[in-house]
Amino acid sequence: MKMVIPGWVSLHPVVERALKNGRPLVALESAVFSHGLPPSPARDLARDLTEAVWAVGATPACIAVRSGRAEVGIGASDLEFLFAPGVMKLAARDLAVAVAQRRSGGTTVAGTLAVAHACGIRVMSTGGIGGVHLGAGAAGDVSADLPALAEHPLVVVCAGPKAVCDPRRTMEMLDTLGVTVVGYGTSMLPGFLAQSAGVPVPHRVDDPSGLAAIAEAKRRIGDRAALLVAQPPPSGAALDARELDRAVSLALERAAEAGVEGTDLTPYLLATLAEVTGGRSVAANVAVLVANARLAAEIAVAIASGRPSSA
């Protein structure tokens, strides 16, 4: 299939070649670098993520907006601009503003999906998706990740909704939006940094080829929503669910007191979690991101091989 790449998007040469030759690609979001983690783990993480994807035989395509252009396939050593003051956090609704005003930003799951879909990339990876937020301070806050998952038919690998979301309401919303949710090796929705969020997932699949088969079937059916693959955190890295809940409650209280809302809320909560857990949430988040990038690469390879099992 011939893709027409939009004029506001620049493909890096490795990504362009992989797309042209039908080789497996994994889109990586960049809001996690600009807004999700402190700069020092973020710098190392970018390298670890791209290496994890290459190691499985897929091409990493980190997506961010630099001076008004969406760049697809930015190298890990080329992300310094994401740590500059004033860099934007770009959901889909913000892309046009960044493009028009030639600004730079890290793309959230929603923003990354919009760009990846426009390029014909079929798989992306993140840590935790945004969802329906918990807490009174976040009155009615629902992440733009959810409607974006309804609009872009990619495979999205995550560890469930971020710990600052209500898992039950997030699952209900995904259901309403027609997003296919599959647990990878689990029948329970993972809790981002904890093994389980205590809510079941509608389907369970245990191998990447089984996930590739569902992605292919969605394409044949003409299903335009994403396949959301939820993989629990690697066992050694997960936080205790009760400890995480306590840290989240404290973070929500602080956000309400400080009056933080909207797009600033998730970064504020993640930073507070890091402080409250003495940095252990950051270590767990990094482990989750690397494991998810690896699985995303395995799925991309299985899709590209064109021989997914019917498992």
Contact set with Mn ion (CB under 5 A) = 141, 143
Q: Which is nearer to ligand PSU, 99 or 274 (CB)?
A: 274
- Degrees, nearest 5: CA angle 89-170-192: 70
266 binds ligand PSU (CB under 6 A): yes
* Residues in 81-100 that interact with ligand PSU by CB under 6 A: none
Piece of 10-18, 27-35, 208-216, 252-260 that binds ligand PSU (CB under 6 A): 27-35
**Two tokens, residue 25:** 């690609």
Q: Which does 145 bind (CB under 5 to 8 A by kind): Mn ion, ligand PSU, none?
A: ligand PSU
What lies within 8 Å, CB to CB, of 169 at 6+ separation is: 131, 132
Q: Which is nearer to ligand PSU, 52 or 212 (CB)?
A: 52
Q: Is 298 known to be catalytic?
A: no
Out of 15, 19, 28, 29, the only residue in the binding site for ligand PSU (CB under 6 A) is 29
Q: Which does 34 bind (CB under 5 to 8 A by kind): Mn ion, ligand PSU, none?
A: none
Out of 11, 15, 19, 36, the only residue in the binding site for ligand PSU (CB under 6 A) is 36
C-beta of residue 62 within 8 angstroms of C-beta of residue 50: yes
231 binds ligand PSU (CB under 6 A): no
Q: How far is CA 134 from the centre of its chain?
A: 19
Q: Is 162 known to be catalytic?
A: yes
According to DSSP, the residues that pair with 132 across neighbouring strands are 142
* Residues in 118-147 that interact with ligand PSU by CB under 6 A: 126-128, 130, 143-145
Q: Which does 29 bind (CB under 5 to 8 A by kind): ligand PSU, Mn ion, none?
A: ligand PSU
DSSP three-state, residue 90:
strand
Question: Which of 128, 126, 182, 124 has the alpha carbon at shortest distance from 152?
Answer: 124
CA dihedral over 142, 275, 75, 58, signed as positive or negative? negative
109 binds ligand PSU (CB under 6 A): yes
Piece of 31-39, 43-51, 64-72, 273-281 that binds ligand PSU (CB under 6 A): 31-39
In angstroms, give the least distance from the CB of 259 to Mn ion: 15
| Cα gap 102→182, rounded to integer Å | 38
Catalytic residue from among 29, 71, 218, 298: 29
Q: Where are the alpha helices (DSSP H) in the chain?
A: 13-20, 31, 39-56, 92-100, 109-119, 145-151, 167-176, 208-221, 241-258, 265-276, 280-305
| Cα gap 57→249, rounded to integer Å | 41
Q: Which does 126 bind (CB under 5 to 8 A by kind): Mn ion, ligand PSU, none?
A: ligand PSU
According to DSSP, the residues that pair with 183 across neighbouring strands are 204, 230
For the purposes of burial, counting CB atoms within 10 Å of the CB of 12, is it exposed (0-12), middle (13-18) or buried (19 or more)? middle
In angstroms, give the least distance from the CB of 220 to ligand PSU: 28
Out of 173, 285, 287, 293, the only residue in the binding site for ligand PSU (CB under 6 A) is 285
Catalytic residue from among 2, 20, 151, 162: 162
| Cα gap 225→201, rounded to integer Å | 17
Catalogue the active-site residues: 29, 162
List residues near ligand PSU by CB under 6 A: 29, 31-32, 35-36, 108-109, 126-128, 130, 143-145, 162, 263, 266, 270, 285, 289
